[in-house]
Amino acid sequence: MAFPTETVYGLGANALDEEAARKTYAAKGRPSDNPLIVHIAEYEDLKQIAVDIPASAKVLAGRFWPGPLTMVFKKDAKVPYGTTGGLDTVAVRMPSDLVARELILASGGFVSAPSANTSGRPSPTRAEHVEEDLSGKIDMILDGGSVEIGLESTVLDMTVDPPVILRPGAVTVGMLEKVIGMVGIDETVLGAENGKVPKAPGMKYRHYAPNAKLTIVEGNIREEVLAIRQLVYDAVNHGKKAGIIATGETLHYYSNGVIKVVGSREDERTIAKNLFAVLREFDGEGVDEIYSESFAMRGIGNAIMNRLDKAAGHLRLPAAEIVRRQKYRRIVFVSQSDTCRGPMAAAILRQKRFRQEYVIDSRGMVVLFPEPVNPKAEAVMRSNGMTLGGYTSIPFSETEIADDILVLTMDEAQKHKVFAEYEEAVSIYTLNEFVGEDEPLLNPYGMPLNIYGLCYENISMLMDKLTKKLNSYTEGEG
């Protein structure tokens, strides 16, 4: 039967019964060389199933049991090879969850319990997850609500000196070292497949994986957000459904895609707790690709990244490289009053298809108060199936000056004015200059409607060229 523990839900069976182990593997579809952890409720019971228990184990148990620490020892003959996946060692843990404790005591003291999921899927952190995977395959699920930690226990090999972490969990290297001094970390715990076989047999399998292709995007947080926005934009452009694993701190930077908050960077325990549930939710929504932010490799961050990395099949992308390809992220058209050519250019450009996301705006150099657009400009836009809506002019300000903002003025005078007024000004060009046209843009002010029509044609041609030029920056991408 499945039962809650503080780490994830377990699939419990009699750890001393070979046949029970066989049934456990069958229900999970788990390879039988992947050993089960034996759960106990009293420290004294450890001595019945393990031999050569080092003194440090008692110290660690005193500090971390009951809790999310599993220790590996030489096994006693009592423990069948079925339970240990054929190994001469046995992994033992004492869970702190009270339901788990009562269950272990009621069942005679030794309960083998792998995570109660189908092998390879994200581990279950709620009874519903167990039901999704194992309904009809097991006798019973004890529903204890959401688990407390959400990631599986730390597995520590006590058969070597110093002990070695085979799987990171909520009990971190730092916490262990404070109690027993130096602790090693198995080199297969993180990083790409390097040909080495992990010492915890379970760690060699693709694991925790959602159906969608998951990619971890790595960089500083600003780069990660920008890169994920680009990747999702690309995916959507290719007709795919993309998901984002975001945090409370970054949520508001995203708009496209299926966005899920995994937790808060302020307290990474919240991320550990929700990670598997979020991966499962994406499965329910039929997304094709998932992009995840990454987390610092300290404290529980190690365990989070270990699970994410496995779920992603080690697929990681450097955010900086994606961000570097984005020369500009915002385009601002600058005219005198922001009531005619600027808003027209912005509206036309917004209709184009780009390889990346651009924020497109217009501003005026002389705007004392918001004015509605020129009625002739609106009339020409309407005759071309567009509208400037209820747009009112906005003055140019220093918020339009930045490395990633391309400022395009309608004529030379405005360009010089921007340079004169803003010392920091960099990417300022006249529109025709930027797209390589000799002729400056027509100014229809005070002219009859047909000249506004010509001006529209003129802008329209320039926007085609501008689109080509902008798209050339990201050429060669997927």
Binding site for Mg ion (CB under 5 A): 115
Instruction: Rule CB under 6 A: choose which of 37, 79, 138, 340 binds ligand AMP.
Output: 37
Name the residue whose CB lies closest to ligand AMP: 202
The DSSP letter of residue 399 is: G
Asked whether the beta carbons of 318 and 247 are under 8 A apart, the reply is no
Q: Does 41 interact with ligand AMP (rule: CB under 6 A)?
A: no
Cβ-based nearer residue to Mg ion, 115 or 337: 115
> Minimal distance in Å, beta carbon 115 to Mg ion?
3
Q: Which stretch binds ligand AMP (CB under 6 A): 33-41, 124-132, 244-252, 384-392?
A: 33-41
Q: Which residues, 6 or more positions from 214, have their beta carbon under 8 angstroms from its beta carbon? A: 279, 289, 290, 291, 292, 308, 311, 312, 313, 315
Pairwise CA distance, residues 416 & 69, whole Å:
67
Nearest 5 degrees, angle CA 275-CA 68-CA 303?
40
Contact of residue 203 among ligand AMP, Mg ion, none (CB under 5-8 Å per partner type):
ligand AMP
Q: Does 189 interact with ligand AMP (rule: CB under 6 A)?
A: no
Pairwise CA distance, residues 364 & 361, whole Å:
11
Site pattern 202..231 for ligand AMP (x: CB under 6 A): xx----------------------------
Cβ-based nearer residue to ligand AMP, 122 or 257: 122
Strand order in the sheet with 359-364: 359-364, 330-335, 405-409, 428-430
> Minimal distance in Å, beta carbon 84 to Mg ion?
16
Count of positions on this chain that bind ligand AMP (CB under 6 A): 21
Q: Does 114 interact with ligand AMP (rule: CB under 6 A)?
A: yes
Closest to 272 measured CA to CA, from 168, 116, 127, 134: 168
Cβ-based nearer residue to ligand AMP, 89 or 125: 89
Instruction: Rule CB under 6 A: choose which of 152, 234, 289, 309 binds ligand AMP.
Output: 152
Q: Does 405 interact with ligand AMP (rule: CB under 6 A)?
A: no
Pairwise CA distance, residues 283 & 126, whole Å:
16
Q: Does 27 interact with ligand AMP (rule: CB under 6 A)?
A: no
Site for ligand AMP in 62-101 (CB under 6 A): 72, 84, 87, 89-91
Residues in the chain: 478
Contact of residue 99 among Mg ion, ligand AMP, none (CB under 5-8 Å per partner type):
none
Instruction: Rule CB under 6 A: choose which of 166, 245, 349, 407 binds ligand AMP.
Output: 166
> Minimal distance in Å, beta carbon 157 to Mg ion?
18
Q: Convert 224-277 into a string of H (helix), E (strand) and C (coil).
A: HHHHHHHHHHHHHHCCCCEEEEECCCCHHHCCCCEEEECCECCECHHHHHHHHH
Beta bridge partners, 164, equal 157, 184
Q: Does 133 interact with ligand AMP (rule: CB under 6 A)?
A: no
Q: Does 408 interact with ligand AMP (rule: CB under 6 A)?
A: no
Q: Which amino acid is at 216?
A: I
Instruction: Rule CB under 6 A: choose which of 35, 109, 263, 301 binds ligand AMP.
Output: 35
Which string of b and e fits 224-250 if b means at least 16 CB within 10 Å?
A: bbbbbbbbbbbbeeeeebbbbbbbeeb
Cβ-based nearer residue to ligand AMP, 90 or 455: 90
Query: Residue 445 burial (CB < 10 Å; 0-12/13-18/19+)?
Result: middle
Q: Which stretch binds ligand AMP (CB under 6 A): 30-38, 47-55, 265-273, 313-321?
A: 30-38
Asked whether the beta carbons of 276 and 124 are under 8 A apart, the reply is yes
Pair of tokens at residue 346: 């912005």
Cβ-based nearer residue to ligand AMP, 311 or 435: 311
Q: In the complex, which residues of this chain contact ligand AMP (CB under 6 A)?
A: 34-37, 72, 84, 87, 89-91, 114-115, 152, 155, 166-167, 199-203
